Structure 1
Amino acid sequence: MSQIFIAKSSKNNSTAKLPLWLGSLIALLAGSAFIFALAPYYIWIVALISPAVLYACLQHRSAPQALLIGWCYGFGLWFVGAFWLYTSIHEYGDTSAFVSVLLIAIMASIMALFSALQAWVYRRFFPETPLTFAPLWVFFEWAKTWVFTGFPWLFVGYAFTERFLDQYAPLFGVFGISFIAVTIACGLVEIIRRKWFWAVPIVVLLAGAWAASFVVFVQPKAEKPLQVSLIQGNIPQDLKWLTSYQNRTLDIYHDLSAPEWGRDLVVWPESSIPMPQTAIEPFLQDINRQALAKHSAWVTGIPYFDEAGSIKAQKPLFYNALMASGEQASGLYQKQRLVPFGEYVPLAGLLKWVLPSLQNDASAGGFTAGQLGQKPLSVKGHNLGSVICYEVAYPNLTRLNAEHSDFMVTVSNDAWFTGTAGPWQHLQMVQMRAKENGRWFIRATNTGVTAFIDAQGHIVKQAPQDKTFVLRGDLPAYTGQTLYNRLGNAPVLIFCLLLLLLSLRYRPRQIDVSFKSRR
């Protein structure tokens, strides 16, 4: 055990250490390259190489040096990995190219603090071993789901959504896969250093993924699958919220749906209706009549105005919502996790000079977060769990919404990020949520990627991006609970905590915290 937890330093190791500037540069490049592990590139091996390089760069470093190296890695990770934000800030935020890049750099600098703190804690308190590095990696990924409301993006586990380690998803979720992938990556570094015993845990973890493929948690219900039509209106983002284009938007969805009435369920995407329900009651009644006449259920995204709540709160309350109507359909789901600068503007008064057009965009600053514990929508005698757009990036929130559901719906408007990797990364997260919870997902979007995703996280059908399209498919109801759906992130987090506590027993008596290398 001590061999696993204690990293023995030597003169050779110390003198072979790279200069700090070079180690920082290599870490920056490793973080920047991570994007290629995710959709739409799918070069999964990068998800092993990237954290492995950071692990190697941190060896025999002081804690302050590790802080710098970790920050460089995180800056590269977020500046390149989330650069799709440029499109929304520059093109739809009416912001200059220079200021847009500057804002992304500021965001990356702040998010890089996660990696910086992770690296500092690793070198300050723990021995150099994969079994301390990987647990810390998982804790800091998890922290990104809740610190300052969270920005849960760019997790290592997503690189394995449909390959190699994905069978762990129903057991331990994306964080479990991240732990296993990072452990394997760092174990390979140790093997290169001729610590051959690391081959054993790597083989065990790979064999575990194979064995997990035989574990069955869920199964389809006997009922006939629902016939579903997903409507992709392809409304340009710069026109979507214009008052002059609202009637045209309604006509597009009305006309696309007309041939689909008669199917069990017709789904419109997030905010496909660009006005609150109180402003277009005749239109909603007309669509509901068409659905009822053909025995169809209808689910649509809509800005929902809570009249009673507004009176009580003494301010207008608008929710980004999903509403079900038509035959055997009812319910309202109000989005719980809002997008900063997309659905509300933090410190709005101070940022008017930075994002002038967003201050006047109904979709950017006027929404209120929905309450926890909302009931699923009811459709044709089934429970339809809901997540709206950005929410699907939150593993635990989606897990809670998937409880007691027969299948899931997620709606989105990724027109903000047309032509970037953002919509594809977003779709990849939906695949992971499907596999974690053992439920089919239907994903209706404004511009793409609209898709049917099965309970194993595989894309069964998808619509072409940036085209007006109707995607038809069958949606089977499922029963049963995966281990992850039942227990959530607790097993992985507790296991990681135990590893870190155990490592403290075997850590060296002194851990260098200065810039000077310990000999």
Structure 2
Amino acid sequence: MRSFFRKINNIQSSSTTQRIPLSLVCLISLMAGILLPFALAPYHSWWLAILSPALLYACLHQRTARQAFFIGWSYGIGLWFVGAFWLYTSIHVYGDTSAILSVLMIAFMAIAMGLFNAVQCWLYRRFFPETPLTFAPLWVLFEWMKTWIFTGFPWLFVGYAFTTYGLDEYAPLFGIFGVSFVVIVIAAALTECLFGKRFWLIPIALLLFGAWGAKYIQWVEPKNEKPLSVSLIQGNIPQDLKWLVEYQTETLRIYATLSQTEWGRDLVVWPEASIPMFQTDIQPFLEVISKHAQERGSAWVTGIPYWDLENSQEGHPLYYNAIMASGSQSSGLYFKQRLVPFGEYIPFSGALSWVLPGLQDDVTLSGFSAGHDHQAPLIIKNHRLASAICYEIAYPNLTRNNAKDNDFLITISNDAWFTGTSGPWQHLQMVQMRAKENGRWIIRATNTGVTAFINAQGHIVKQLPSDQRMVLRGELPAYTGETLYSRFGDWMILLFCSLLLALGLLFRPRVVNTAFKQRR
């Protein structure tokens, strides 16, 4: 491995750099990007999260900004095409799109998302000195940008590879971006060591020592209360049947039957859209289940499409992807805040109305509305439960805001769209990181998996096998206190990265920079 890195360094440092084909370096970068998804769930080869960015760092050595753009773009294309290929199942199998067109659509997505890495690498070689302390901050800032640009697609962050693997001890301090920063600094510093700059072993040792010390800081603690007894119902309804009108009665029967033995426990949870009808269409069923839960002393939480009859927007009704609580000593209604583009709503639907005139009048096309910020938590047996529906748990700051001053986090999902792929496992890994960041147990109920209980340290305590119709039972302690990340959010790591980049701009080598301006 050392000889391989030395060869890359020799090629990049050679006086014949211009004769070295850029295509060869881009190919190495492409392969490096392909490696990173295998560091994440379900493969958990965490060491690839060091090797992958280390290869990219080596490929960028003494390259011009223009060359760096294509090297970074190659890396991003490999990362997103392989890392998000689970989209193929939803597009081809459930979307009835041809195999070739499905692959082309994923390739287009990878090309678009790869531009994040392309611009990141261009900025790195255009404005900053070659050092891990400028490479890592730029990496983190671009990961953060993926949480909000064009509504965000916060996936495939390098720090997730270390969920439960030691470096995640930085999560309660600085969140996922703090973990990513540490990973990238270590990866780039190891590369520098292989290039002969052994003094980089010092910051590596300090970062590893910091992770070891952080695990002894007790940010939160369990309340002196009786644990909450919880049952999660995994209905395992096939996605191709879930929304069929003729299968609705069978869906309700499955969930009602699975829940019969669970009434009497503190909380029974059904997953996202487990009731595939609006509350206005199924009021008698809701009343029966709620009454049954009330009589047995249970709270009942379910995912359901919700039609807001009291409010409308420009004369059109509002529809929400919702979580509803009812039954004994329970109340609350949560509307999903971050919606899936083209899955739950059509972007720029107003602008597209002249192309598709029926768009505004058909709920199946115009889709759901987004819930507002700072919604009240669900109240379950005097406990406050912060909510997250499906992929919005992937947004660190959104989850943090919802989790503040609450006893538990509850997230419901339907990952049946991606059955048999890495998607649901990547999703679960993010849930684990949210638990670690906020110091709270997370209750996760899904339609087909992965249904699980995750403790305040981000470890999976219990889980159900995927694609099976089962019930998961657990006793969950409520926690009190807040982590450093809960209190300050992403601002600390973002400000620190900005400071490092400002120092990089201030102390960049002027002679080298001038040379690169001439070659750009």
- What TM-score range do you get, normalising by the shorter chain? over 0.9
1:205 aligns with: 207
Please tell me the residue identity of whatever aligns with 1:13: S
| Corresponding residue number in structure 1 for 2:256 | 254
Cα distance, 1:314 vs structure 2: 1.0
Counterpart AA for 1:189: T
Task: Give the equivalent residue in structure 2 for 1:29.
Answer: 31
Cα distance between partner residues in 2 of 1:90 and 1:361:
24
- In structure 2, the partner of 1:53 is 55
| Counterpart position of 1:13 | 13
Contact 1:63 1:512 in 2 (8 A): no
Which amino acid in the other structure matches residue 134 of structure 1?
Answer: A
Verify the 8 A CA contact 1:64 1:513 in the aligned structure 2.
no
- Offset of residue 180 of structure 1: 0.4
SS at match of 2:440: coil
> Are 2:173 and 2:437, in contact at CA under 8 Å, matched by a contact in 1?
yes
CA distance in 2, matches of 1:10, 1:260: 65
Distance 1:419 1:512, change over 3 A: farther
| Alignment partners' CA distance in 2, 1:336 and 1:408 | 15
Shift of the 171–79 alpha-carbon distance from structure 1 to 2, 3 Å rule, reads: same
Q: Are 1:452 and 1:460, in contact at CA under 8 Å, matched by a contact in 2?
A: yes
| d(CA) in 2 for partners of 1:501, 1:490 | 16
Q: In the TM superposition, what are the counterparts of 1:446-461 in structure 2 within 5 Å?
A: 446-461=447-462
Selected match of 1:187 from 182, 186, 189: 189
Report the counterpart of residue 106 of structure 1 in structure 2: 108
Distance 1:344 1:223 in 2: 42
- d(CA) in 2 for partners of 1:129, 1:501: 13
Once the two structures are TM-superposed, the CA of residue 14 in structure 1 deviates from its matched residue by 3.2
Kept after mapping to 1: 8 A contact 2:12/2:61 = no
Q: How far apart in 2 are the matches of 1:332 and 1:68?
A: 47
SS in 2 for 1:474: strand
Counterparts of 1:111-150 in structure 2 under 5 Å? 111-150=113-152
Q: Deviations over 1:123-174 (max 9, x none)?
A: 0000000000000000000000000000000001100011020111100110
Q: Is the 8 A contact 1:42 1:159 kept in 2?
A: yes
**1:92-135 Cα shifts (integer Å, max 9, x gaps):** 11111111111111111110010000000000000000000000
User: How far apart, in 2, do the equivalents of 1:513 and 1:442 lie?
Assistant: 56
How far did 1:504 drift?
1.7
Alpha-carbon deviations, 1:29-85, whole Å to 9, x = none?
100111100000000000011111001000100000000000000000001100000
Unaligned 5+ segments in structure 2 are 1-8, 354-358
Does residue 397 (structure 1) correspond to residue 413 (structure 2)? The answer is no
Q: Tell me: CA distance 1:45–1:60, structure 2 relative to 1, closer, same or farther (3 Å).
A: same
Residue equivalent to 1:501: 502
Structure 1 residues 12 and 263: alpha-carbon distance in aligned structure 2, compared to 1, 3 A threshold: closer
Gap change, CA 1:405 and 1:42, over 3 Å in 2: same
Change beyond 3 A, Cα 1:232–1:119: same
Query: Does residue 95 of the first structure (1) align with residue 71 of the second (2)?
Result: no
Match of 1:479 in 2: 480
Displacement of 1:359 in angstroms is 12
CA shift, 1:351, in A, is 9.9
Figure out how many residues of one structure are paired with residues of the other and give that number.
504
Q: What are the Cα deviations for residues 352-374 of structure 1, in whole angstroms up to 9, with x where unaligned?
A: 9xxxxx99997775211100110
Classify the secondary structure of the residue corresponding to 1:307. Answer: strand
What is the aligned partner in structure 2 of residue 44 from structure 1? 46
Distance 1:143 1:12, change over 3 A: closer
Deviation at 1:505, TM superposition (A): 2.2
Match of 2:416 in 1: 415
1:355-404: CA deviation from partner (whole Å, max 9, x where unpaired)? xxx99997775211100110111000010010001100000000000001
Q: Which secondary structure does the structure 1 equivalent of 2:310 belong to? A: helix
**How far has the Cα of 1:428 moved from its partner?**
0.2
The letter for the 1-side match of 2:115 is L
Alignment check: 8 A CA contact 1:423 1:448 kept: yes
Paired with 2:189 and 2:516, the residues of 1 have a C-alpha distance of 27
Shift of 1:481: 0.3
- Which structure has the higher relative contact order (CA within 8 Å, separation 6+)? 1
- Does the aligned pair in 2 maintain the 1:62–1:512 contact within 8 Å? no
Give yes or no for contact 2:279–2:307 (8 Å, CA) kept in 1: yes
Distance in 2 separating the partners of 1:390 and 1:66: 32
**Structure-2 separation of matches of 1:11 and 1:57:** 9
Residues 12 and 59 in structure 2, CA contact (< 8 A), matched pair in contact too: no
Structure 2 match to 1:165: 167
C-alpha separation in 1, matches of 2:276 and 2:352? 25
Q: Are the equivalent residues in 2 in contact too, given 1:228–1:473 (CA < 8 A)? A: yes
CA distance in 2, matches of 1:83, 1:441: 27
Cα distance, 1:161–1:364 mapped onto 2, change above 3 Å: farther
**What value does the CA root-mean-square deviation take over the aligned residues?**
2.1
Shift of 1:10: 10
- Give the structure-1-normalised TM-score: 0.94
Aligned to 1:3: none
Q: Which residue of 1 aligns with 2:287?
A: 285
Kindly tell me: are residues 293 and 34 of structure 1, through their superposed partners in 2, closer, same or farther at Cα, counting changes over 3 Å? same
2:311 counterpart SS class: helix
Tell me if the contact between 1:341 and 1:365 (Cα under 8 Å) persists in the aligned partners. no
SS in 2 for 1:229: strand
In structure 2, distance between residues paired with 1:87 and 1:513 = 48
Compared CA separation, residues 496 and 402, structure 1 to 2 (3 A): same
Q: 1:362 to 1:273 in 2, by over 3 A?
A: farther
More deviation, 358-367/484-493 = 358-367
Whole-angstrom CA distance in 1 between matches of 2:12 and 2:157: 34
Counterparts of residues 434-445 of structure 1 (less than 5 Å): 434-445=435-446
Contact 1:124 1:513 in 2 (8 A): no
Gaps of 5+ in 1: 1-8, 353-357
Alignment match, 2:465: 464
CA distance in 1, matches of 2:73, 2:349: 28
Deviations 1:195-231 (A, max 9, x none): 0110000000000000001101100001111110000
2:271 to 269, 272, 279: 269
CA contact under 8 A between 1:431 and 1:453: conserved in structure 2? Answer: yes
- State the one-letter code of the partner of 1:175: F
| CA positional deviation for 1:12 | 8.4
- Call closer, same or farther: CA 1:361–1:52 in 2, change over 3 Å: farther
